[in-house]
Structure 1
Amino acid sequence: MNAPIRRIAHLDMDAFYASAELLRYPQLKGLPVVIGGGRRKVDEAIQDLPEGATLADIPLAAFPVLKDYTGRGVITTATYPARQFGIGSAMGLMKAAKLCPQAILLPVDFERYRAFSRQFKQVILEIAPLMEDRGVDEVYIDFTDVPGGQREGGRVLARLIQKSIFQATGLTCSIGVAPNKLIAKMASEFNKPNGISIVHESDLQTLIWPLPARKVNGIGPKADAKLERFGLRTVGDIASRERDWLIAHFGKATGAWMHEVSWGRDERPVVTESEPVSMSRETTFERDLHAVRDRAELGAIFTHLCQKVAEDLQRKGYVGKTIGIKLRYDNFQIATRDQTIDRFIDDAKAIRQTAGQCLKRVPLERPLRLIGVRVGALVRAGSSEANAGAPSRKRGSDRATGATNGQATASLF
């Protein structure tokens, strides 16, 4: 009996954050909606709801729009109608307001999105157990040996997963099924939203080679610009060059990799368990905050970040002993500091104490735009390494990008 043909799927939720918000506010469907700016646990509109009314009853006129926004927030995501105006992730809200002033602005709600993420992934695991988690809104799935995974190239199983996720969450997703992860990821973009795309090895020249080189996951703006200088604009253009030529112009590792991916070769397995190296939380302020004038506010934010990192560690079953901080100043320059302690921890108080020591080693004269807390050197809680708690010499490291030299200010939050 012949071995089954390898079939790998890439599943990408459609405008995930925005779609989650549209479930909460169905009256916004079909409208340009932007998610971004500040965070708040309870939407302000809820406070004005009459007794017995639901979120779906909030009139459109009650929602804030981009033209009235003032601040430096950035877009997390946007609905497809908003994207038609050229609005995209990471764009400044003020810039987006010029492109689509009538777009409705909603705050981000990461707790809601993470809850939906856990829900749709559990649906997948009940159908196809070989799943690789790639973030809050995307996964790889090995269809090869799953019932239905070979039928119509994987379309039957993809359709079942799509339907099951929609029934459980009300959200749609797009799925690409191909011989490997590389092509599957490209294929998941072919028919968005709520699409299924099937690619076979024989489809390489017709479906993959005409794509822009930037569609290959791993070819960024710099590599794309260099390819462009050589007249290589598509995946097929790269495939037309000899392996040695690519190595000569892009280096041994990158050139060899480009040759392989342009011919659709990718043997990476679907990895069901991947151990995180670190966990972090950070936040960008609506206005610049100063370590002295805004000490109380900064202190509360800093403590909250430490608490959230501790909750993440405890929920996922990890402990760590390298504690770090990240600051972005008002001039966009960044400074980081970290310190390794002699025991593994996952409690907020201990994280806050060590992170506070890191703060003493950064200049705090300039106003701050962002602050973050990170716990690294992770091991599983309860593991022999964690229980041993082998003492290690305390050590710290500094990295500053254009930060002010000199001693930290005495006023620490």
Structure 2
Amino acid sequence: MPRLIAHLDMDAFYASVELLRYPELKGLPVVIGGGRRHQPVMRPDGTREFSLLRDYTGRGVLTTSTYEARKLGVFSAMPTMKAAKLAPDAVLLPVDFDEYRKYSRLFKAAVRRIAPLVEDRGIDEIYIDLSDLPGVHDDGGRAIGQALKDAVFDATGGLTCSVGITPNKLLSKLCSEFDKPDGLTLLRADEIPARVWPLAARKVNGIGPKASEKLAAHGMHTIGDIAARDAAYLVEHFGKSYGAWLHRASHGIDDREVVTHSEPVSMSRETTFERDLHAVRDRHVLTPIFTELCMEVADDLSRKGYAAKTIGIKLRFDDFKIVTRDLTLPAHTMDAKTIRRAAGECLKRVDLTRRLRLLGVRAGNLAKLSELLNPHATDAPVAQEPAPAYHAPLPLFDASEGGSSA
């Protein structure tokens, strides 16, 4: 029997979770990306007062928006000040990743109860191998697709998702966008010329802006345009690997399996400041933020059962230059104090003269705690907790840590 692979994508996930919490906002343009000061306030009469986009000041970017806001031209990753000009009356809500992770766990558990072969692709999307489920080929997966959508809706208390079901992952991801929101799209291989080839080339996951621009320069604007070119032509102009992939992708060929388990490469937390901050003059603001990021990374490691041996930092300055630094520890750790100390050591190797737009902390070189605690599984020792010579809270930037008093 042919493969049947589903791609399930939650609809405007973060925004939809917030609408469950604040149902009075349904049907209104809402954007997610504010800070703590944009938390709704309860009025004496029991109604809520919400922040509006018109009142925003700062340098942040939007995380997501409702479909009503998108109709006004407001999308994720857009600078918030730009969005305020397009949709000044849109409601602005703060980001709440703990709540989004909770609902992510709920919808994925609901799916696994029906179809256990699931590949986790992030907080709001998954691939599902439906091929061996009883009766799934009788209707091309339509009944099971609807069952998955219903299960997600019930488990989350009202969240919708869009599902694409096709012979492979590439086509399924493409099709899950066809009928958003709350869509269910099925596609057979013989329907590719009629339904896929007319689409813009950039719709294919793996064809980014630069590749789209280069394809257009060669007269290829749609997926069908690419499919019409010989494989040799694509390889000649786009390289052996990418050219061959373009040929296969344009014909809807994708042999990738649904991977049900993979180990994380790293864990990180970062924040973009609403205004550029100076290493010395804004030390009182930066220090607790930096410490909180380290604590969040430590919590992520502990919650997921990992320890890290390499700690790093990421800085973006006011000129948009990005700087990263890493430090490899003598032993793995999941301790916030050890992570904070290592991240502080990384800061000593950075020129902090310019103002900062973004600050991040990363934990890499991960190992499972179960393996570290089993002497037969690995030779890597676990770092002793707490780290010696740690005094909390540490100043973030001072002369000894490379800070400038200018």
Answer whether TM exceeds 0.5 for this pair.
yes
Rounded Cα–Cα distance in structure 1 between residues aligned with 2:311 and 2:270: 14
Corresponding residue of 2:84: 97
Q: Deviations over 1:37-78 (max 9, x none)?
A: 3246x93414x355xx4xxx43xxx22211222211211111
- What's the CA shift for 1:221? 0.5
Rounded Cα–Cα distance in structure 2 between residues aligned with 1:279 and 1:69: 30
Match of 1:362 among 350, 354, 371: 350
- The answer to whether the Cα contact below 8 Å between 1:39 and 1:109 also exists between their aligned partners in 2 is no
Q: Deviations over 1:121-176 (max 9, x none)?
A: 11111111000000110000001012343232111011011111111111000000
Corresponding residue of 2:6: 9
- For the pair 1:45 / 2:41, whether they are aligned, the reply is yes
Rounded Cα–Cα distance in structure 1 between residues aligned with 2:86 and 2:273: 24
- The answer to whether the Cα contact below 8 Å between 1:342 and 1:389 also exists between their aligned partners in 2 is no
- For the pair 1:27 / 2:15, whether they are aligned, the reply is no
- What's the CA shift for 1:390? 6.4
User: 3-state DSSP class of the match of 1:119?
Assistant: helix
Corresponding residue of 2:277: 289
Letter in 1 for 2:203: K
Corresponding residue of 2:127: 140
Q: Deviations over 1:370-411 (max 9, x none)?
A: 1100010111112158752269xxxxxxxxxxxxxxx96357
Corresponding residue of 2:380: 389
Match of 1:314 among 297, 302, 305: 302
Rounded Cα–Cα distance in structure 1 between residues aligned with 2:131 and 2:30: 38
Q: Deviations over 1:77-128 (max 9, x none)?
A: 1111111111111111111112121111111111111111111011111111
Rounded Cα–Cα distance in structure 2 between residues aligned with 1:202 and 1:266: 15
Rounded Cα–Cα distance in structure 1 between residues aligned with 2:317 and 2:355: 6
- The answer to whether the Cα contact below 8 Å between 2:40 and 2:50 also exists between their aligned partners in 1 is no
Rounded Cα–Cα distance in structure 1 between residues aligned with 2:198 and 2:121: 26
**Equivalent residue runs for 1:78-157 within 5 Å:** 78-157=65-144
Letter in 2 for 1:155: R
Corresponding residue of 2:237: 249
Greater alpha carbon shift after TM alignment, 145-154 vs 375-384: 145-154
Greater alpha carbon shift after TM alignment, 176-185 vs 371-380: 371-380
**Equivalent residue runs for 1:147-186 within 5 Å:** 147-169=134-156, 170-186=158-174
Letter in 2 for 1:72: R
Rounded Cα–Cα distance in structure 2 between residues aligned with 1:141 and 1:237: 30
- What's the CA shift for 1:286? 1.5
User: 3-state DSSP class of the match of 1:388?
Assistant: coil
Rounded Cα–Cα distance in structure 1 between residues aligned with 2:83 and 2:245: 37
Rounded Cα–Cα distance in structure 2 between residues aligned with 1:183 and 1:33: 31
- For the pair 1:235 / 2:226, whether they are aligned, the reply is no
Letter in 2 for 1:45: V
Corresponding residue of 1:205: 193
Distance 1:254 1:110, change over 3 A: same
Rounded Cα–Cα distance in structure 1 between residues aligned with 2:224 and 2:210: 19
Corresponding residue of 2:386: none
User: 3-state DSSP class of the match of 2:341?
Assistant: helix
Corresponding residue of 1:409: 402
Rounded Cα–Cα distance in structure 2 between residues aligned with 1:177 and 1:73: 37
- The answer to whether the Cα contact below 8 Å between 1:20 and 1:171 also exists between their aligned partners in 2 is yes
Q: Deviations over 1:346-378 (max 9, x none)?
A: 111111111111111111122211110001011
Gaps of 5+ in 2: 383-399
Rounded Cα–Cα distance in structure 1 between residues aligned with 2:150 and 2:352: 52
User: 3-state DSSP class of the match of 1:287?
Assistant: strand
Gaps of 5+ in 1: 392-406
Q: CA RMSD in A?
A: 2.0
Rounded Cα–Cα distance in structure 1 between residues aligned with 2:98 and 2:44: 22
Distance 1:49 1:262, change over 3 A: farther
Distance 1:45 1:148, change over 3 A: farther
Rounded Cα–Cα distance in structure 2 between residues aligned with 1:369 and 1:181: 37
Percent sequence identity over aligned pairs: 58
Rounded Cα–Cα distance in structure 2 between residues aligned with 1:352 and 1:161: 43
Corresponding residue of 1:396: none
Rounded Cα–Cα distance in structure 1 between residues aligned with 2:404 and 2:305: 35
Letter in 2 for 1:256: A
- For the pair 1:73 / 2:78, whether they are aligned, the reply is no
Rounded Cα–Cα distance in structure 2 between residues aligned with 1:70 and 1:219: 35
- The answer to whether the Cα contact below 8 Å between 1:239 and 1:263 also exists between their aligned partners in 2 is yes
Q: Normalising to structure 2: TM-score of the pair?
A: 0.91
Letter in 2 for 1:217: N
- The answer to whether the Cα contact below 8 Å between 2:165 and 2:187 also exists between their aligned partners in 1 is yes
- Work out the number of aligned pairs and report it: 386
- For the pair 1:275 / 2:263, whether they are aligned, the reply is yes
Rounded Cα–Cα distance in structure 1 between residues aligned with 2:138 and 2:174: 21
